[in-house]
């Protein structure tokens, strides 16, 4: 355990105050005091939309950052996102987004060998990331809850490209014809994709929590895990889903007919 404290000026002796609530450094222990500048400071990652991350996950994140930095020297950012950051350990893999203008290097095998977790790796240059954020609501969801090596600065103007949204929405049509063979996580992804597109067109705030709340409201669910655990009422759900899909599709067609991109 390490405690960073500041030297305070006292009347007879200068002093350092440390919190009483600590797991080490009992009264009577001898400790070493030295300037912080002599130590190599590990910069803490930046958290966005993440309230609590288990200690073991934090160590995995630091390990991932370390592995990538050894393989890719020049990068703009390293971002961890996806279900790995949700509470608990029900995730299937760890989503890693590497922003770099260098030639892509696949570090998936290195990370999997060191952490024992499957990797979903996305390699993008900064220009592609900014473009994705401006036109694709799923990028907004991805970055609304993430942990990054460097600070994320987004100053992107939203652009509704109805033709691209039409292609993205087509993915969600799979659910209507393949409900029985899709697992809970696959269904959740397709539902989230459709709802995010709908909110994007309606100019609503896009974040993981906002989309999840909208999904529960649209389909009258008490918990989003009803989807992930694959316990939906097929007949009732598909009726609502088809109605919502058609509503979103009509919004996109209206945009295309009105001459929007």
Answer yes or no: is 33 within a domain. no
Pairing of strands 93-99, 118-124: parallel
Range from 11-15, 60-64, 163-167, 190-194 carrying the lowest mean pLDDT:
11-15
Which residues are paired to 47 by β-bridges?
147
- 121 falls within a domain: yes
Q: Are residues 128 and 189 in the same domain?
A: no
- The string of pLDDT tens digits covering residues 124-136 is 999 999 999 999 9
Q: Both 126 and 94 in a single domain?
A: yes
Domain termination site, one of 100, 116, 148:
148
46-48 vs 146-148, strand pairing mode = antiparallel
CA neighbor of 105 nearest in space, from 142, 156, 68, 147: 68
Domain that holds residue 190: 162-257
Residue 141 sits in the same domain as residue 55:
yes
**What is the pTM (predicted TM-score) of this model?**
0.78
**Of the residues 95, 121, 148, which one is the last residue of a structural domain?**
148
> Residues 244, 166: one domain?
yes
Give pLDDT tens digits for 75-115.
999 999 999 999 888 888 899 999 998 877 788 999 999 88
Q: Is residue 15 part of a domain?
A: no
Domain count of the fold of the chain: 2
Joined tokens for residue 25? 């450094």
Instruction: Verify that 138 and 50 share a domain, yes or no.
Output: yes
In a domain, 30, yes or no: no
């Amino acid at each position: 355990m390490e405690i960073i404290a500041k030297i305070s000026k006292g009347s007879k002796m200068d002093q350092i105050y440390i919190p009483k609530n600590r797991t080490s450094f009992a009264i009577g222990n001898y400790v070493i005091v030295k300037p912080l500048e002599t130590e190599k400071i590990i910069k803490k990652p930046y958290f966005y939309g993440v309230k609590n991350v288990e200690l073991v996950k934090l160590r995995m994140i630091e390990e991932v950052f370390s592995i990538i930095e050894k393989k890719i020297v020049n990068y703009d950012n390293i971002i961890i996102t996806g279900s790995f950051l949700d509470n608990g350990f029900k995730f299937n893999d760890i989503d890693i987004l590497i922003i770099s203008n260098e030639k892509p290097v696949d570090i998936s095998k290195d990370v999997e060998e060191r952490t024992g977790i499957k990797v979903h790796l996305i390699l993008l240059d900064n220009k592609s990331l900014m473009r994705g954020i401006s036109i694709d609501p799923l990028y907004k969801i991805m970055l609304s809850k993430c942990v990054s090596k460097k600070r994320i600065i987004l100053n992107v103007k939203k652009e509704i490209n109805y033709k691209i949204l039409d292609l993205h929405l087509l993915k969600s049509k799979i659910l209507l014809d393949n409900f029985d063979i899709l697992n809970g996580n696959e269904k959740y992804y397709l539902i989230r994709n459709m709802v995010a597109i709908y909110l994007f067109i309606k100019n609503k705030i896009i974040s993981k929590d906002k989309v999840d709340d909208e999904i529960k409201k649209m389909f009258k669910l008490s918990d989003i895990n009803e989807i992930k655990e694959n316990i939906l009422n097929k007949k009732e759900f598909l009726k609502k889903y088809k109605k919502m899909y058609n509503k979103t599709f009509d919004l996109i067609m209206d945009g295309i007919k009105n001459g929007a991109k």
